[in-house]
Amino acid sequence: MRDGSKGATAALFGAAPHIAVDRALAELRAGRPVVLEASGGDILALPVEGLDDGRLAGFQALCAPGQARLLISARRARALGLAASTARTISVPADMSADAVLALAAGRHAGAPAGVEPASPSAEAAIALLKLSHGLPAALIAAFDTAANVDSAGIIHVPADAVTAYQRFLVDSLAIASEARVPLTGSGDSRFVIFRDGAGGNAVAVVVGEPDLSQPVAVRLHSACLTGDVFGSRRCDCGDQLRLALDQLEADGGVILYLPQEGRSLGIVNKMRAYSLQDAGLDTIDANTQLGFDEDERDYGAGARMLQLLGIRRVWLMTNNPEKLAGIAEAGIEVVGRMPLETPAHADNHRYLATKATRAGHQLDHFVASLAEATEAE
């Protein structure tokens, strides 16, 4: 390699840790194992998505006998009735069938396992990677010695500390990729500004009208919801909030940030799993934590970066969610006030709205007032 060519190729391919995370995410989505490297020891991690006995046997063949364990998040551990722990992840022996592994990872009625141990920093990075891949936050893991394992060729290795840095990279690398005028039914003239991050992911800003950037701008941070926004699902109020925000922006203009955060950043597959748990009796928060996720996995750093690139520094935030107010402010945008979005309540979304109001702290004053009126009328 010629002198100076190393820097040139780095500009072409990107930073090595980011490349490693990119490739690891592709492997995990395809159901293949990766190695997480950390000072506490390297681990081999295989996602439990699509696990069957054949894949389980293949994983065990890469491990020392009896060393395979199931890694789950602390949220999932609590859902299984395990004692509270300061560990963010735990592991249990995986000397069981693939069906039993899947039941422990995400089953509705799995019992509390024995042999629980706190997991290592490399295991915590594995859970973070699985969440980034929109898979279940659970994996088969085992200590891994590359030098001793003759079958390790081709397995992607990822430094554990690269995972956290990668999430910051996705925000910092956001840039405007394209834009065009798109007139909308009922909302007049608008402009779609498409953003792309360093991993090829997209987010959209819909600039309605001609907002005055010298003044605070009305902004809606909207998490993409295929079921509600596109198909009019009545299980949530997402589509109603989106359309109401567009209507309210028609007069003075503003911006809707359409963020790829389906199901509070669980992804569409896990969102449907959560819906199934809700059909079995859980509310929207307990369904998420039953699967091993936090109550809300969203981060608003990307939204703040998009606003900054649009030249917006001060906003009126169109939301009922105080977490959005705090998140966007912490990311460097001045929030001068909140504009509520009062959407209709009905039989299909009543429990969903009640959970948001009573457990998630959403400021749904109109809904709470209607509940009080109904109680008084009884």
Catalytic residue ranges = 296, 298
- In angstroms, the CA 286 to CA 289 distance is 5
Dist. CA 246–CA 185, nearest whole Å = 10
Nearest to 229 by CA among 217, 251, 246: 246
286 burial type by CB count under 10 A (0-12 exposed, 13-18 middle, 19+ buried): middle
How many residues comprise the chain? 378
CA separation, residue 282 to residues 260, 262, 345, 346, 354 (Å): 25, 19, 19, 19, 13
Residues 6+ apart with CB under 8 A from 102: 48, 51
> What are the structure tokens assigned to 86, written together?
């300061």
The secondary element (H helix, E strand) that includes residue 171 is helix 160-172
DSSP state letter for 226 = I
Q: Using alpha carbons only, what angle is made at residue 142 by residues 138 and 146, rounded to the nearest 5 degrees?
A: 125
Task: Assess contact for 162 and 20: CB atoms under 8 A.
Answer: yes
